[in-house]
Structure 1
Amino acid sequence: MAVSGVSGADNNSAGALAGAVSSSSDQEQRFLKLLVTQLNNQDPLNPLNNAELTSQLAQMSTVSGIEKTNAALQALLGQTGSSQTLQAASLIGHTVLTPGGSVTLKDGAAVGATTTFGLNMQGAADTVKVTITDSAGKTVRTIDVGALPQGTKILSWDGKNDTGTMMANGDYKISVAAAANGTAVAAGTLTYAQVASVAQGANGVTLNLGAAGTVALSDVKQFL
Protein backbone atom coordinates (compact mmCIF):
# COMPACT_ATOMS: atom_id res chain seq x y z
CA MET A 1 0.00 0.00 0.00
CA ALA A 2 1.43 3.36 -1.00
CA VAL A 3 0.26 6.72 0.30
CA SER A 4 2.40 9.70 -0.71
CA GLY A 5 2.30 13.34 0.19
CA VAL A 6 0.56 13.04 3.59
CA SER A 7 3.30 14.20 5.94
CA GLY A 8 4.58 16.57 3.29
CA ALA A 9 1.23 18.33 3.10
CA ASP A 10 1.16 18.81 6.88
CA ASN A 11 4.70 20.22 6.92
CA ASN A 12 3.95 22.53 4.01
CA SER A 13 0.83 23.83 5.76
CA ALA A 14 2.71 24.52 8.97
CA GLY A 15 5.55 26.14 7.03
CA ALA A 16 3.14 28.36 5.09
CA LEU A 17 1.48 29.53 8.31
CA ALA A 18 4.80 30.21 10.04
CA GLY A 19 6.15 32.02 6.99
CA ALA A 20 3.07 34.19 6.69
CA VAL A 21 3.18 35.11 10.39
CA SER A 22 6.88 35.97 10.08
CA SER A 23 6.22 38.09 6.99
CA SER A 24 3.37 39.91 8.72
CA SER A 25 5.54 40.56 11.77
CA ASP A 26 8.34 41.96 9.59
CA GLN A 27 5.92 44.28 7.85
CA GLU A 28 4.60 45.54 11.18
CA GLN A 29 8.13 46.27 12.38
CA ARG A 30 8.96 48.17 9.19
CA PHE A 31 5.71 50.13 9.46
CA LEU A 32 6.39 51.10 13.06
CA LYS A 33 9.93 52.21 12.20
CA LEU A 34 8.64 54.35 9.35
CA LEU A 35 5.92 55.79 11.58
CA VAL A 36 8.39 56.69 14.34
CA THR A 37 10.71 58.23 11.76
CA GLN A 38 7.82 60.20 10.31
CA LEU A 39 6.83 61.46 13.78
CA ASN A 40 10.40 62.41 14.65
CA ASN A 41 10.85 64.32 11.41
CA GLN A 42 7.44 65.90 11.00
CA ASP A 43 7.03 69.58 10.37
CA PRO A 44 6.38 71.26 13.78
CA LEU A 45 4.18 73.80 12.00
CA ASN A 46 2.16 71.05 10.26
CA PRO A 47 2.21 67.97 12.53
CA LEU A 48 0.54 64.67 11.72
CA ASN A 49 -3.00 64.90 13.02
CA ASN A 50 -4.72 62.18 15.04
CA ALA A 51 -7.07 61.20 12.18
CA GLU A 52 -4.17 60.44 9.81
CA LEU A 53 -2.31 58.47 12.48
CA THR A 54 -5.40 56.44 13.39
CA SER A 55 -6.11 55.76 9.71
CA GLN A 56 -2.60 54.45 9.06
CA LEU A 57 -2.70 52.20 12.14
CA ALA A 58 -6.12 50.83 11.12
CA GLN A 59 -4.91 50.07 7.57
CA MET A 60 -1.86 48.23 8.88
CA SER A 61 -3.99 46.24 11.29
CA THR A 62 -6.42 45.29 8.50
CA VAL A 63 -3.65 44.10 6.17
CA SER A 64 -2.04 42.08 8.95
CA GLY A 65 -5.37 40.47 9.84
CA ILE A 66 -6.06 39.51 6.23
CA GLU A 67 -2.62 37.90 5.87
CA LYS A 68 -3.06 35.83 9.02
CA THR A 69 -6.56 34.74 7.94
CA ASN A 70 -5.29 33.66 4.52
CA ALA A 71 -2.44 31.71 6.12
CA ALA A 72 -4.86 29.95 8.47
CA LEU A 73 -7.13 29.02 5.55
CA GLN A 74 -4.18 27.62 3.57
CA ALA A 75 -3.18 25.51 6.57
CA LEU A 76 -6.72 24.16 6.88
CA LEU A 77 -6.81 23.32 3.18
CA GLY A 78 -3.55 21.41 3.51
CA GLN A 79 -4.89 19.41 6.46
CA THR A 80 -8.08 18.65 4.51
CA GLY A 81 -6.03 17.30 1.62
CA SER A 82 -4.09 15.02 3.96
CA SER A 83 -7.34 13.76 5.48
CA GLN A 84 -8.74 12.98 2.01
CA THR A 85 -5.59 11.04 1.14
CA LEU A 86 -5.86 8.92 4.28
CA GLN A 87 -9.53 8.22 3.57
CA ALA A 88 -8.77 7.35 -0.05
CA ALA A 89 -6.13 4.86 1.14
CA SER A 90 -8.98 2.59 2.23
CA LEU A 91 -9.82 2.16 -1.48
CA ILE A 92 -6.55 0.35 -2.23
CA GLY A 93 -7.37 -3.12 -3.51
CA HIS A 94 -10.97 -2.16 -4.28
CA THR A 95 -12.53 -1.73 -7.72
CA VAL A 96 -13.79 1.65 -8.92
CA LEU A 97 -15.83 2.79 -11.91
CA THR A 98 -14.10 5.66 -13.67
CA PRO A 99 -14.02 7.29 -17.13
CA GLY A 100 -12.37 4.89 -19.57
CA GLY A 101 -12.77 3.46 -23.06
CA SER A 102 -11.45 -0.10 -22.91
CA VAL A 103 -12.46 -3.48 -21.52
CA THR A 104 -10.45 -6.68 -21.21
CA LEU A 105 -11.94 -10.04 -22.11
CA LYS A 106 -10.46 -12.89 -20.06
CA ASP A 107 -11.21 -16.60 -20.47
CA GLY A 108 -14.27 -15.68 -22.50
CA ALA A 109 -13.89 -18.60 -24.86
CA ALA A 110 -13.82 -21.06 -21.95
CA VAL A 111 -16.59 -19.83 -19.67
CA GLY A 112 -18.42 -17.12 -21.60
CA ALA A 113 -17.49 -14.50 -19.00
CA THR A 114 -19.39 -11.21 -19.04
CA THR A 115 -17.44 -7.98 -19.33
CA THR A 116 -19.05 -5.12 -17.41
CA PHE A 117 -18.73 -1.41 -18.20
CA GLY A 118 -20.81 1.74 -17.80
CA LEU A 119 -22.16 4.80 -19.56
CA ASN A 120 -22.20 8.33 -18.20
CA MET A 121 -25.18 10.08 -19.78
CA GLN A 122 -25.00 13.88 -19.64
CA GLY A 123 -28.63 14.06 -20.69
CA ALA A 124 -31.61 11.87 -21.54
CA ALA A 125 -31.49 10.17 -24.95
CA ASP A 126 -34.01 8.18 -26.99
CA THR A 127 -31.33 6.26 -28.92
CA VAL A 128 -28.06 4.96 -27.46
CA LYS A 129 -25.65 2.69 -29.31
CA VAL A 130 -22.43 1.15 -28.02
CA THR A 131 -19.71 0.05 -30.42
CA ILE A 132 -17.00 -2.45 -29.45
CA THR A 133 -13.86 -2.65 -31.59
CA ASP A 134 -10.78 -4.87 -31.48
CA SER A 135 -7.12 -3.79 -31.36
CA ALA A 136 -7.12 -3.32 -35.13
CA GLY A 137 -10.07 -0.92 -34.96
CA LYS A 138 -12.51 -3.39 -36.51
CA THR A 139 -16.06 -3.34 -35.14
CA VAL A 140 -16.90 -6.66 -33.51
CA ARG A 141 -20.13 -5.81 -31.73
CA THR A 142 -22.80 -3.12 -31.88
CA ILE A 143 -25.20 -2.94 -28.94
CA ASP A 144 -28.47 -1.04 -29.35
CA VAL A 145 -29.19 0.08 -25.80
CA GLY A 146 -32.34 2.05 -26.61
CA ALA A 147 -33.49 5.02 -24.53
CA LEU A 148 -31.64 6.05 -21.37
CA PRO A 149 -32.17 8.81 -18.79
CA GLN A 150 -29.46 11.15 -17.58
CA GLY A 151 -27.00 9.55 -15.18
CA THR A 152 -24.87 6.41 -14.90
CA LYS A 153 -25.95 3.16 -16.55
CA ILE A 154 -24.19 -0.19 -16.01
CA LEU A 155 -24.07 -2.51 -19.05
CA SER A 156 -22.39 -5.78 -19.95
CA TRP A 157 -20.88 -7.52 -22.97
CA ASP A 158 -20.95 -11.30 -23.20
CA GLY A 159 -17.72 -11.39 -25.19
CA LYS A 160 -19.43 -12.36 -28.47
CA ASN A 161 -19.43 -10.56 -31.81
CA ASP A 162 -22.51 -9.66 -33.87
CA THR A 163 -22.71 -13.21 -35.28
CA GLY A 164 -22.62 -14.85 -31.85
CA THR A 165 -19.00 -16.04 -32.02
CA MET A 166 -16.96 -15.78 -28.84
CA MET A 167 -14.10 -13.35 -29.26
CA ALA A 168 -10.51 -14.04 -28.28
CA ASN A 169 -9.09 -12.83 -25.00
CA GLY A 170 -7.64 -9.34 -25.12
CA ASP A 171 -8.34 -5.63 -24.89
CA TYR A 172 -11.27 -4.06 -26.71
CA LYS A 173 -12.33 -0.45 -27.16
CA ILE A 174 -15.83 0.78 -26.36
CA SER A 175 -17.50 3.95 -27.61
CA VAL A 176 -21.00 5.37 -27.35
CA ALA A 177 -23.25 7.51 -29.55
CA ALA A 178 -26.46 8.98 -28.14
CA ALA A 179 -29.16 11.29 -29.48
CA ALA A 180 -32.50 12.79 -28.53
CA ASN A 181 -34.90 13.74 -31.33
CA GLY A 182 -32.02 13.62 -33.78
CA THR A 183 -29.75 15.87 -31.69
CA ALA A 184 -26.55 14.42 -30.26
CA VAL A 185 -26.41 13.94 -26.49
CA ALA A 186 -23.07 14.00 -24.67
CA ALA A 187 -22.19 10.61 -23.21
CA GLY A 188 -19.01 8.92 -22.03
CA THR A 189 -17.89 5.39 -21.31
CA LEU A 190 -16.90 4.08 -17.88
CA THR A 191 -14.76 1.08 -17.01
CA TYR A 192 -13.81 -0.80 -13.86
CA ALA A 193 -10.25 -0.88 -12.51
CA GLN A 194 -8.55 -1.83 -9.26
CA VAL A 195 -6.90 0.83 -7.11
CA ALA A 196 -3.17 0.15 -6.63
CA SER A 197 -2.26 3.26 -4.62
CA VAL A 198 -3.30 6.82 -3.83
CA ALA A 199 -1.40 10.10 -3.86
CA GLN A 200 -1.89 13.72 -2.84
CA GLY A 201 -0.91 16.13 -5.61
CA ALA A 202 -1.32 19.77 -6.54
CA ASN A 203 -4.74 19.00 -8.04
CA GLY A 204 -6.01 16.91 -5.13
CA VAL A 205 -6.15 13.18 -4.45
CA THR A 206 -5.45 10.86 -7.38
CA LEU A 207 -5.86 7.10 -7.66
CA ASN A 208 -3.27 4.91 -9.37
CA LEU A 209 -5.15 2.23 -11.34
CA GLY A 210 -2.10 0.37 -12.60
CA ALA A 211 -2.27 -0.28 -16.35
CA ALA A 212 -5.43 1.87 -16.51
CA GLY A 213 -3.41 4.95 -15.50
CA THR A 214 -4.39 7.52 -12.89
CA VAL A 215 -7.67 9.26 -12.18
CA ALA A 216 -8.84 12.00 -9.83
CA LEU A 217 -10.82 10.85 -6.82
CA SER A 218 -13.60 13.25 -7.84
CA ASP A 219 -14.00 11.41 -11.17
CA VAL A 220 -14.92 8.08 -9.55
CA LYS A 221 -18.55 7.18 -10.24
CA GLN A 222 -18.84 4.01 -8.19
CA PHE A 223 -16.89 2.08 -5.53
CA LEU A 224 -17.06 -1.69 -5.15
Structure 2
Amino acid sequence: MRKRRRCMETESILQSSAYTTTSTDTATPSNELDDDAFMTLFIAQLENQDPLNPMDNTDMLAQLAQFTTVEQLSSMNENIASMLDQSNAQVINSAVSYIGLDVVAEGDQVSVGDDGVSPLYYTLSDDATEAMAYIYDEDGSLVDTVALTDLTEGEHTFQWNGLNSDDEQVAKGNYSVGIIALDDQGDFISVSTLCQGTVVGMSAQNGTTVFELSDGRTVNMMSVTDVYTNSAS
Protein backbone atom coordinates (compact mmCIF):
# COMPACT_ATOMS: atom_id res chain seq x y z
CA MET A 1 0.00 0.00 0.00
CA ARG A 2 2.86 2.42 0.79
CA LYS A 3 4.43 1.83 -2.61
CA ARG A 4 1.06 2.36 -4.30
CA ARG A 5 0.52 5.61 -2.34
CA ARG A 6 3.92 6.89 -3.45
CA CYS A 7 3.13 6.05 -7.07
CA MET A 8 -0.15 7.93 -6.73
CA GLU A 9 1.70 10.93 -5.26
CA THR A 10 4.15 10.94 -8.16
CA GLU A 11 1.29 10.64 -10.65
CA SER A 12 -0.47 13.55 -8.94
CA ILE A 13 2.66 15.71 -9.28
CA LEU A 14 2.94 14.83 -12.98
CA GLN A 15 -0.69 15.75 -13.53
CA SER A 16 -0.33 19.07 -11.69
CA SER A 17 2.76 19.86 -13.76
CA ALA A 18 1.03 19.08 -17.04
CA TYR A 19 -1.99 21.28 -16.36
CA THR A 20 -2.57 24.80 -15.11
CA THR A 21 -5.81 25.95 -13.49
CA THR A 22 -7.52 29.10 -14.71
CA SER A 23 -9.53 31.49 -12.59
CA THR A 24 -12.62 29.46 -13.47
CA ASP A 25 -10.95 26.21 -12.33
CA THR A 26 -10.80 24.95 -15.91
CA ALA A 27 -7.76 22.75 -16.64
CA THR A 28 -5.63 24.01 -19.52
CA PRO A 29 -2.95 21.74 -21.03
CA SER A 30 0.66 22.92 -20.91
CA ASN A 31 3.65 21.44 -22.72
CA GLU A 32 6.35 23.04 -20.58
CA LEU A 33 7.70 22.52 -17.06
CA ASP A 34 8.88 25.57 -15.17
CA ASP A 35 11.79 25.55 -12.70
CA ASP A 36 9.66 24.81 -9.63
CA ALA A 37 7.74 21.99 -11.35
CA PHE A 38 10.97 20.35 -12.52
CA MET A 39 12.56 20.46 -9.06
CA THR A 40 9.35 19.21 -7.42
CA LEU A 41 9.18 16.29 -9.84
CA PHE A 42 12.90 15.55 -9.41
CA ILE A 43 12.66 15.49 -5.59
CA ALA A 44 9.53 13.34 -5.72
CA GLN A 45 11.39 10.95 -7.98
CA LEU A 46 14.21 10.69 -5.42
CA GLU A 47 11.85 10.26 -2.47
CA ASN A 48 9.78 7.57 -4.18
CA GLN A 49 12.54 5.52 -5.77
CA ASP A 50 12.86 1.85 -4.91
CA PRO A 51 15.41 1.52 -2.03
CA LEU A 52 16.49 -1.80 -3.47
CA ASN A 53 17.01 -0.29 -6.93
CA PRO A 54 17.91 3.40 -6.47
CA MET A 55 18.47 5.80 -9.34
CA ASP A 56 21.88 5.47 -10.92
CA ASN A 57 24.16 8.45 -10.19
CA THR A 58 24.85 8.82 -13.90
CA ASP A 59 21.15 9.16 -14.66
CA MET A 60 20.69 11.69 -11.86
CA LEU A 61 23.62 13.79 -13.06
CA ALA A 62 22.33 13.61 -16.63
CA GLN A 63 18.96 14.98 -15.54
CA LEU A 64 20.58 17.81 -13.60
CA ALA A 65 22.89 18.60 -16.53
CA GLN A 66 19.90 18.70 -18.86
CA PHE A 67 18.07 21.05 -16.51
CA THR A 68 21.15 23.31 -16.29
CA THR A 69 21.46 23.40 -20.09
CA VAL A 70 17.82 24.38 -20.49
CA GLU A 71 18.28 27.11 -17.91
CA GLN A 72 21.32 28.47 -19.73
CA LEU A 73 19.52 28.43 -23.09
CA SER A 74 16.54 30.20 -21.56
CA SER A 75 18.80 32.88 -20.09
CA MET A 76 20.61 33.21 -23.43
CA ASN A 77 17.31 33.71 -25.27
CA GLU A 78 16.30 36.42 -22.82
CA ASN A 79 19.65 38.18 -23.31
CA ILE A 80 19.37 37.99 -27.10
CA ALA A 81 15.81 39.36 -26.97
CA SER A 82 17.02 42.22 -24.79
CA MET A 83 19.87 42.98 -27.20
CA LEU A 84 17.46 42.98 -30.16
CA ASP A 85 15.14 45.39 -28.36
CA GLN A 86 18.06 47.73 -27.64
CA SER A 87 19.27 47.44 -31.24
CA ASN A 88 15.81 48.23 -32.63
CA ALA A 89 15.56 51.24 -30.35
CA GLN A 90 18.93 52.51 -31.58
CA VAL A 91 17.87 52.05 -35.22
CA ILE A 92 14.64 53.97 -34.61
CA ASN A 93 16.46 56.81 -32.85
CA SER A 94 19.00 56.96 -35.67
CA ALA A 95 16.28 56.91 -38.35
CA VAL A 96 14.31 59.72 -36.70
CA SER A 97 17.39 61.96 -36.86
CA TYR A 98 17.20 61.84 -40.69
CA ILE A 99 13.78 63.51 -40.84
CA GLY A 100 14.03 66.88 -42.59
CA LEU A 101 17.34 66.05 -44.27
CA ASP A 102 18.12 65.36 -47.92
CA VAL A 103 19.45 61.88 -48.62
CA VAL A 104 21.01 60.18 -51.62
CA ALA A 105 20.23 56.47 -51.78
CA GLU A 106 20.01 53.54 -54.14
CA GLY A 107 16.98 53.95 -56.36
CA ASP A 108 15.81 54.51 -59.93
CA GLN A 109 12.91 56.94 -59.46
CA VAL A 110 12.70 60.67 -60.11
CA SER A 111 9.92 62.98 -58.97
CA VAL A 112 8.15 65.58 -61.13
CA GLY A 113 6.72 68.43 -59.06
CA ASP A 114 6.30 72.19 -58.83
CA ASP A 115 10.05 72.61 -58.39
CA GLY A 116 10.87 70.60 -61.52
CA VAL A 117 12.36 67.13 -61.72
CA SER A 118 14.60 65.61 -59.07
CA PRO A 119 18.03 64.45 -60.28
CA LEU A 120 19.15 60.89 -60.83
CA TYR A 121 22.78 59.91 -60.42
CA TYR A 122 24.18 57.05 -62.47
CA THR A 123 27.56 55.33 -62.37
CA LEU A 124 29.13 53.55 -65.33
CA SER A 125 31.47 50.69 -64.50
CA ASP A 126 33.45 51.36 -67.69
CA ASP A 127 33.61 53.79 -70.59
CA ALA A 128 30.58 53.55 -72.86
CA THR A 129 30.13 54.34 -76.52
CA GLU A 130 26.38 54.85 -76.17
CA ALA A 131 23.83 54.98 -73.39
CA MET A 132 20.08 55.57 -73.25
CA ALA A 133 17.74 56.49 -70.43
CA TYR A 134 14.22 55.07 -70.59
CA ILE A 135 11.59 56.87 -68.47
CA TYR A 136 8.44 55.03 -67.37
CA ASP A 137 5.34 56.29 -65.57
CA GLU A 138 3.75 54.61 -62.56
CA ASP A 139 1.73 52.33 -64.87
CA GLY A 140 4.92 51.06 -66.49
CA SER A 141 4.31 52.86 -69.80
CA LEU A 142 7.32 54.33 -71.62
CA VAL A 143 6.95 58.13 -71.75
CA ASP A 144 10.37 59.26 -72.99
CA THR A 145 13.77 58.12 -74.21
CA VAL A 146 16.90 60.25 -73.74
CA ALA A 147 20.35 59.68 -75.25
CA LEU A 148 23.02 60.26 -72.59
CA THR A 149 26.19 62.20 -73.34
CA ASP A 150 28.24 61.55 -70.18
CA LEU A 151 29.73 58.21 -71.17
CA THR A 152 33.03 57.99 -69.28
CA GLU A 153 33.55 55.57 -66.41
CA GLY A 154 32.34 56.94 -63.07
CA GLU A 155 29.43 58.93 -61.63
CA HIS A 156 27.23 61.26 -63.65
CA THR A 157 24.00 63.21 -63.19
CA PHE A 158 20.90 62.71 -65.31
CA GLN A 159 18.52 65.67 -65.23
CA TRP A 160 15.32 64.92 -67.09
CA ASN A 161 13.33 67.88 -68.43
CA GLY A 162 9.95 66.36 -67.58
CA LEU A 163 8.75 66.23 -71.18
CA ASN A 164 7.45 63.13 -72.93
CA SER A 165 8.47 61.92 -76.38
CA ASP A 166 6.02 64.43 -77.91
CA ASP A 167 7.67 67.31 -75.99
CA GLU A 168 4.62 67.65 -73.76
CA GLN A 169 4.87 68.27 -70.03
CA VAL A 170 4.14 65.09 -68.10
CA ALA A 171 1.89 64.93 -65.06
CA LYS A 172 3.28 65.40 -61.58
CA GLY A 173 4.32 62.19 -59.91
CA ASN A 174 7.09 59.63 -59.71
CA TYR A 175 8.78 58.09 -62.73
CA SER A 176 11.21 55.20 -63.03
CA VAL A 177 14.40 55.50 -65.07
CA GLY A 178 16.19 52.57 -66.64
CA ILE A 179 19.64 53.17 -68.12
CA ILE A 180 21.27 50.88 -70.66
CA ALA A 181 24.93 51.41 -71.68
CA LEU A 182 27.08 49.62 -74.24
CA ASP A 183 30.86 49.53 -74.75
CA ASP A 184 32.70 49.68 -78.08
CA GLN A 185 32.20 45.93 -78.49
CA GLY A 186 28.44 46.24 -78.11
CA ASP A 187 28.48 44.55 -74.70
CA PHE A 188 26.37 45.79 -71.82
CA ILE A 189 28.07 47.89 -69.13
CA SER A 190 26.97 47.69 -65.51
CA VAL A 191 25.04 50.80 -64.45
CA SER A 192 23.99 51.70 -60.89
CA THR A 193 21.63 54.55 -60.02
CA LEU A 194 21.02 56.79 -57.01
CA CYS A 195 18.10 59.11 -56.28
CA GLN A 196 17.76 62.12 -53.98
CA GLY A 197 14.96 63.45 -51.79
CA THR A 198 13.92 64.91 -48.44
CA VAL A 199 13.05 62.51 -45.61
CA VAL A 200 9.68 63.22 -44.00
CA GLY A 201 8.95 59.92 -42.28
CA MET A 202 9.95 56.34 -41.70
CA SER A 203 8.39 52.91 -41.46
CA ALA A 204 9.36 49.25 -41.01
CA GLN A 205 8.89 46.98 -44.01
CA ASN A 206 9.95 43.33 -44.13
CA GLY A 207 12.34 43.80 -41.22
CA THR A 208 14.06 46.87 -42.67
CA THR A 209 13.71 50.59 -42.01
CA VAL A 210 12.38 52.55 -44.98
CA PHE A 211 12.51 56.33 -45.37
CA GLU A 212 9.48 58.12 -46.80
CA LEU A 213 10.46 61.08 -49.00
CA SER A 214 8.47 64.28 -49.37
CA ASP A 215 7.38 63.36 -52.92
CA GLY A 216 6.03 59.93 -52.00
CA ARG A 217 9.07 57.88 -52.97
CA THR A 218 10.67 55.47 -50.50
CA VAL A 219 14.28 54.40 -50.01
CA ASN A 220 15.89 51.82 -47.76
CA MET A 221 17.77 53.34 -44.83
CA MET A 222 20.67 50.92 -45.36
CA SER A 223 21.07 52.10 -48.98
CA VAL A 224 21.68 55.76 -48.07
CA THR A 225 25.08 56.94 -49.31
CA ASP A 226 24.99 60.69 -48.56
CA VAL A 227 23.09 63.03 -46.23
CA TYR A 228 22.70 66.81 -46.63
CA THR A 229 20.95 69.63 -44.82
CA ASN A 230 17.75 70.45 -46.66
CA SER A 231 18.50 73.55 -48.75
CA ALA A 232 14.89 74.68 -48.40
CA SER A 233 15.10 74.83 -44.60
* Shift in Å, 1:106: 5.0
More helix by share: 1
- Pair 118,60 (structure 1): closer, same or farther in 2 beyond 3 Å: same
Q: Give, in whole Å, the separation in 2 of the partners of 1:134 and 1:31.
A: 65
Q: Which structure 1 residue ranges, 4+ long, deviate > 6 Å from structure 2? A: none
Structure number with higher relative contact order (C-alpha < 8 Å, ≥ 6 residues apart): 1
Q: 1:191 aligns with which of 192, 195, 202?
A: 195
Q: Which residue of 2 aligns with 1:156?
A: 158
Q: Give, in whole Å, the separation in 2 of the partners of 1:83 and 1:175.
A: 35
- Pair 105,120 (structure 1): closer, same or farther in 2 beyond 3 Å: farther
Does structure 1 residue 206 correspond to structure 2 residue 213? no
Q: Which residue of 1 aligns with 2:127?
A: 126
Does structure 1 residue 137 correspond to structure 2 residue 139? no
Deviates more, 1:45-54 or 1:128-137: 128-137
Q: Give, in whole Å, the separation in 1 of the partners of 2:35 and 2:160.
A: 71
Unaligned ranges ≥5, structure 1: 1-24, 109-113
After superposition, give the CA deviation of every residue in 1:102-150 in whole Å (9 maximum; x if it has no partner).
2426566xxxxx85211266xx33326241537562434211432425x
CA radius of gyration, larger in = 2
- Pair 179,28 (structure 1): closer, same or farther in 2 beyond 3 Å: farther
Q: Which residue of 1 aligns with 2:87?
A: 80
Check the 8 A contact 1:103/1:117 in 2, yes or no: no
Q: 2:34 aligns with which of 27, 31, 36?
A: 27
* Shift in Å, 1:190: 2.2
TM normalised by structure 1 equals 0.67
RMSD between aligned residues: 3.5
* Shift in Å, 1:72: 1.0
How many equivalent pairs are there? 189
Q: 2:119 aligns with which of 116, 119, 126?
A: 116
Q: Which amino acid aligns with 1:126?
A: D
Residue aligned with 2:70, SS = helix
Residue aligned with 1:88, SS = helix
Does structure 1 residue 36 correspond to structure 2 residue 43? yes
- Pair 115,33 (structure 1): closer, same or farther in 2 beyond 3 Å: closer
Deviates more, 1:212-221 or 1:180-189: 180-189
Unaligned ranges ≥5, structure 2: 1-31, 229-233
